Structure 1
Amino acid sequence: METRAVDRGSNRIGHVNKVQYVRRDFKKRKCRKIKRPPIPVVPMALQELFVSCREVFKGPGTVPLPCDVEKLCCILDNMKAEDVGLSSNLQFFKPNVPVKGSPRVTYTTIYRCDNFSLCIFFLPATGVIPLHNHPGMTVFSKLLLGKMHIKSYDWVDPTNSDDTAQPCERRLAKLKADAVFTSPCSTSVLYPTSGGNIHSFTAITPCAVLDVLGPPYSMEDGRDCSYYKEHPYASFPNGDMGLGEEEGEGYRWLEEIEVPENSQMDGIEYLGPQISDI
């Protein structure tokens, strides 16, 4: 799933799929002696995030305490694209660069263990991460670069919300967010049964999103991703709530569907600053 590309013609080393991290220009040297590259310094914010995640996430079935959520949000709110080796000057983030073919999302993993993972998602303009859930997970999302539309829902009845539903089963959900976000902006947090656990991203401009997932997805542990299709509230009768037309605008029926084609992503190697796992 992960690849690395070396463009010898332009002396550029970086990600495939139009995402790159560094640019190195090699000049002729008068002597043949080769200098050893300096040991890269881990940005303080990235290392602090990693250390805090190790302390905060206790494993499956647990949710971070409010004070720990505030701590992680404070770190993420102050993080910049440069902390993970990115810059708005990179070609991928140029708004006028045309996307060839269907826009496809790319992701890279900074770190992963049983308790949490740190990932970056790269969305080209008009790229979409379709409506999906995060069973039993607490997720922090920080928009590092770009402008995107985010829509999120929570189940009206959260009972058994982590159980695997059969395709074509419809459940009532309440709209939690439906807005456009532009970086830099505050970190968003979702919880196993609240905060907009089911959400979708649509990039307006090329975007980079840093996600902290605790615990990460795991099919073996029953935390597989499910996808959903929206239906207006008025599409189906619901005697239990009996909401009027105006009140029903804040609700949708979500129907679980098979994995959609536009959910496919390309995994690439992380080439940014490496964390010190000590």
Structure 2
Amino acid sequence: MTESSVINAGGLDACLDGITATDVGVWPNMPYFKVKEISSFPKITYLHLSDCDKFSIGIFLLPPAGVLPLHNHPQMTVFSKLLFGTMHIKAYDWVDDGASISTPRSGSSKGEVGPVSVRLAKLKVNSAFTAPCDASILYPTDGGNMHCFTAITSCAVLDVLGPPYCDPEGRHCQYYRAHPFTCFSVDDKKLPDDEKMEDHAWLEEIDKPAGLLVVGAMYNGPKIVEK
């Protein structure tokens, strides 16, 4: 696999559809998938393949029950290819471009008190996927820009992000907690008659979840070279 074949292909999604776990040197019996202790967030491994100011390429290795919590990809387009395993994906898009709304919490909101800043989002994906399957694409404002990955079995996910995360340019990873639509009552946020409440949620920005551990490891697969 060459850098030029991936980036300059007429359709990156079609290119990723043809990539297999063998092509990038990963397999389900790698030691990264052995969970030694039970915790809320089993350790996830990230294999870095390539990056520049235009894109980054990497592979996430999730053991069974591994979770990448709900997070965003601001101003970015993301191509994801499940290389092996079964994974549940839940993804949202913002309903509009409006700012967050400060509103009182309901009494059922995890026992917390005081106002909370939330923003309305619509559910785009809520399904389990099993490899082999086509690559998915999420855009800055469509396709599920905020998503959560939950590994049902050992999983490997190849990600191509363009442009990559960059704090100075405002592209930093934010994490969210999803609240059911019925948790908050906001006068100017009424759903159209043809839309269901269960397909919407209020997303609250939170700090990086405690216990989430993503560690880097050496990529030992075929080298990516320019032509």
Question: Which residue does 2:81 correspond to in 1?
Answer: 142
Output one character per residue of 1:191-211: Cα deviation in whole Å (capped at 9) or x when no partner.
011110000000000110000
Please, which of 105, 109, 121 is the counterpart of residue 173 of structure 1? 121
Q: What is the correspondence of 1:123-202 to structure 2 with a 5 Å cutoff?
A: 123-159=62-98, 168-202=116-150
Instruction: State the Cα RMSD in Å.
Output: 2.3
Question: Which residue does 2:208 correspond to in 1?
Answer: 259
Aligned residues: 210
Please, which of 188, 203, 222 is the counterpart of residue 170 of structure 2? 222
- Maintained 8 Å contact 1:130/1:262: no
Compute the TM-score of the two structures, normalised by the length of structure 1: 0.70
Compute the TM-score of the two structures, normalised by the length of structure 2: 0.85
Equivalents in 1 of 2:190, 2:99: separation in Å?
Answer: 23
Stretches of 4+ moved more than 3 A in 1? 52-56, 88-93
Q: What is the correspondence of 1:46-85 to structure 2 with a 5 Å cutoff?
A: 46-47=1-2, 50-55=3-8, 68=10, 71-85=11-25
Question: Which residue does 1:7 correspond to in 2?
Answer: none
Structure scoring higher RCO (CA < 8 A, sep ≥ 6) equals: 2
Higher gyration radius (CA): 1
Equivalents in 2 of 1:251, 1:262: separation in Å?
Answer: 27
How far apart are 1:90 and its partner, in Å?
3.9
Identical-residue share of aligned pairs (%) = 52
- Maintained 8 Å contact 2:58/2:158: yes
- Maintained 8 Å contact 2:180/2:201: yes
Return closer, same or farther for 1:175/1:220 CA change in 2, 3 Å cut-off: same
How far apart are 1:98 and its partner, in Å?
4.9
Equivalents in 2 of 1:138, 1:269: separation in Å?
Answer: 25
Output one character per residue of 1:201-250: Cα deviation in whole Å (capped at 9) or x when no partner.
00000110000000111112210000000100011113234337x81110
Output one character per residue of 1:163-196: Cα deviation in whole Å (capped at 9) or x when no partner.
xxxx942000000000001011111100011110
- Maintained 8 Å contact 1:92/1:206: no
Return closer, same or farther for 1:98/1:222 CA change in 2, 3 Å cut-off: closer
